[in-house]
Amino acid sequence: MRKGGRTEVEITIHRPGELTAELRGAWHRAMDESPEYANPFLAPEFAIGVGRFRGGARVAVLRENGEPAGFFPYERGPFGTGRAIGLGLSDCQALVHRPGLAWHAEDLLRACRLSIFEFDHLVEEQRPFAPHVTGTFASPVIDVKPGDGGYPEWLRGTYPGLAKTTLKKERRLGRDIGEVRFVFDERDPQVLRTLMRWKSAQYRRTGRMDRFSRPWIVALVDHLFREREEHFTGVLSVLYAGDRPVAAHFGPRSSTVLAAWFTAYDPELHYYSPGLMMHLRTAEAAARAGVTMVDLGRGDKEYKDWLKTRELRVAEGFAARAHPVALAQRLWRRPVRGLRNTVLAHPRLRDPADQLLKTVGRLRTQGAAASPAAGKNRLPGR
């Protein structure tokens, strides 16, 4: 069918858990056909995982000539407010579609019954959303390939400036604590719990919102940890000294992309730089496991500047229809995002703000330690 000189696209709405094997297969094929959609946060498994714990999760399926050709995961809130699925957690967002599909943002929002759609890590290719972009940002990545030798040889060849210092610290860690070993795909859920506790403590120390204080995020990470599919696997990587976990990372991977998501380390061992060791070990092991790119995610961090081989661009903004709810949402959310981006973009503002957050975090931690109720708000399994 053609409408106004173009092929008509039919759009149907589904709960993520209701997607059939046929639809998931078509989604996977769309990911395989376009490298910009290879990120695991764009896989149906991530949308299905979020949908288990977020009642507003939906997927719009776009069909061309009756065939599924595009997939748009989102969350619908009150009064038709919409957001990218997993907003605040997902480091990559898009309408995943096969090459050549023509679609229009306003038609999409109308079919989804959305007055506004908020995104903050939209892939650059999404041209129909371009008029609604309020800013674009660098998202550093590491292009990786297997080395000819072991980890030390790979490190010296890939990061000669870091190799000497890092290997020296690893040898010292081995002498002081125990033999250093690395497990790329650890399946012990107790180590995942250790990573969550470390990360929660880091959030509190630095004055950030503790994501793992939210039960649905803990449950989502547990669920993704158990996912073992060709296009999506939850990967827990752990650096050990003897039998002691020193640092860990958990993130999803697709067939070719590993997303750097949650990394933390034992704060008692910070002087060994275990976080940097973790990133380097993970990149080398990921290459051996068939990954071609590690996505470090949007954010201005010194270690990302050290490790990146190039940068992708991601966008944030608000796609909206003419609707009073959309206007109110934009007036409320846009200044908040603008202030945050201004602070992050200017070191003279960012550094004092970061120090203030750390001071607040330290005071909160001291107050929690002195409270009789301290220790009650712990992760499940503690």
For 241-261, how does the pLDDT look when each residue is reduced to its tens digit (9 = 90+)? Answer: 999 999 999 999 999 999 999
CB burial of residue 363 (10 Å; 0-12, 13-18, 19+)? exposed
DSSP per-residue codes, 314-382: EEEEEEE-S-HHHHHHHHHHHHHHHHHHHHHH-HHHHHHHHHHHHHHHHHHHHHHHHSTTTTSS--TT-
CATH code of 145-291, in short, is 3.40.630.30
Domain residue spans of the chain: 9-139+313-344, 145-291
Report the pLDDT averaged over residues 304-322.
92
Residue bearing tokens 């107050």: 367
C-alpha span between 340 and 322 (Å, rounded):
26
pLDDT at 324: 53
Q: Which residue has the higher pLDDT, 329 or 198?
A: 198
Does the structure show a pLDDT above 90 at 310? yes
Confidence class for position 333, pLDDT limits 50, 70, 90: low
Residue bearing tokens 């002087």: 271
Confidence class for position 339, pLDDT limits 50, 70, 90: very low
Confidence class for position 148, pLDDT limits 50, 70, 90: confident
Cα–Cα nearest to 121, from 94, 143, 81? 94
Single-letter code of the amino acid located at 89: L
Helix (H, G, I), strand (E, B) or coil at 260: coil
**HSE value, Cβ hemisphere, 13 Å, CA-based, for 157:** 12
**Four-point Cα dihedral 179, 261, 267, 198, nearest 10:** -110
Confidence class for position 232, pLDDT limits 50, 70, 90: very high
Report the pLDDT averaged over residues 331-343.
48
Report the pLDDT averaged over residues 207-225.
96
Report the pLDDT averaged over residues 166-184.
97
pLDDT at 8: 82
pLDDT at 323: 57
DSSP-H helix ranges across 54-84: none
pLDDT at 107: 96
pLDDT at 331: 55
C-alpha span between 58 and 229 (Å, rounded):
21
What single DSSP character describes residue 163? Answer: H
Record the pTM: 0.85
- Max mean pLDDT among 163-167, 325-329, 332-336, 347-351 falls in 163-167
CA distances to 91, 143, 215, 239 from 310, rounded to whole Å, are 16, 8, 35, 26
Are 9-139+313-344 and 145-291 in the same CATH fold? yes
DSSP per-residue codes, 184-240: SS---HHHHHHHHHHHHHHHHHTT---GGGSHHHHHHHHHHHT-B-SS-EEEEEEEE
The CATH number of domain 9-139+313-344, selected from 3.30.420, 1.10.10, 1.10.3470, 3.40.630: 3.40.630
Report the pLDDT averaged over residues 169-187.
98
pLDDT at 263: 97
pLDDT, tens digit, 9 for 90 and up, residues 80-123: 899 999 999 999 999 999 999 999 999 999 999 999 999 999 99
Element (H, E) at 107: helix 105-112
Q: Which residue has the higher pLDDT, 345 or 179?
A: 179
Does the structure show a pLDDT above 90 at 159? yes
Residue bearing tokens 């699925």: 85
pLDDT, tens digit, 9 for 90 and up, residues 30-86: 999 999 999 999 999 999 999 999 999 999 999 999 999 999 999 999 988 999 999
Does the structure show a pLDDT above 70 at 238? yes
The mean predicted confidence, pLDDT, of the chain is: 87
C-alpha span between 57 and 62 (Å, rounded):
17
pLDDT at 304: 96
pLDDT at 272: 97
C-alpha span between 64 and 69 (Å, rounded):
6
C-alpha span between 161 and 142 (Å, rounded):
16
